[in-house]
């Protein structure tokens, strides 16, 4: 378990900053997936979607998402919200485990079901230098001599 703050390195820092920005929006009364009054609004719409089948953008998505699949997804979202008390759902190697907007602390945990192997990006950890092979000056003189005959 790691507490992530705004000074986490690299891409993780960007994600953490974005989540903390969401937290700041919640403190100002703006919409947020992780804290504040917007959670009650999102929960209301989730409950409506659980009772009445709903496919967002149905005209465009009806060929790709069946009503029973949408219902299953809403049930899964309700279970997720019940466990973690927020709507920040992702598909990366970490998930938002807990939110403390007053303290400006979030907790990320490793998502064990993440599909990529842990060493997928390891090849980028070290810098490689390009290598070039210069022709042997003696060999180029020999080629010029043969062409001139």
pLDDT at 35 > cutoff 80: yes
pLDDT tens string 10-19: 555 555 545 5
Burial call 114-127: b when 16+ CB within 10 Å, e when fewer: eeeeeeeeeeeeee
Q: pLDDT tens digits for 115-144?
A: 888 888 888 888 777 777 777 766 656 555
Whole-angstrom distance, CA of residue 86 vs CA of residue 145 = 78
Percentage of the residues of the chain whose pLDDT score is greater than 70: 69
Which of 8-47 are b and which e, b meaning 16 or more Cβ less than 10 Å from the residue's Cβ? Answer: beeeeeebbeebbebbebbeeeeebbbbbebbeebeeeee
């Amino acid at each position: 378990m790691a507490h992530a703050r705004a000074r986490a390195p690299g891409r993780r820092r960007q994600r953490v900053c974005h989540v903390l920005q969401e937290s700041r929006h919640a403190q100002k009364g703006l919409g947020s997936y992780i804290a504040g009054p917007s959670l009650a609004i999102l929960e209301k719409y989730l409950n409506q979607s659980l009772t009445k089948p709903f496919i967002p953008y149905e005209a465009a998505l009806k060929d790709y998402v069946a009503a029973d699949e949408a219902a299953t997804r809403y049930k899964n979202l309700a279970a997720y919200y019940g466990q973690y008390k927020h709507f920040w759902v992702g598909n990366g190697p970490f998930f938002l485990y807990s939110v403390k907007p007053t303290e400006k602390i979030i907790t990320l945990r490793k998502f064990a079901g993440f599909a990529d192997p842990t060493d997928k990006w390891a090849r980028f950890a070290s810098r490689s230098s390009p290598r070039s092979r210069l022709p042997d000056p003696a060999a180029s003189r020999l080629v010029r001599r043969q062409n001139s005959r």
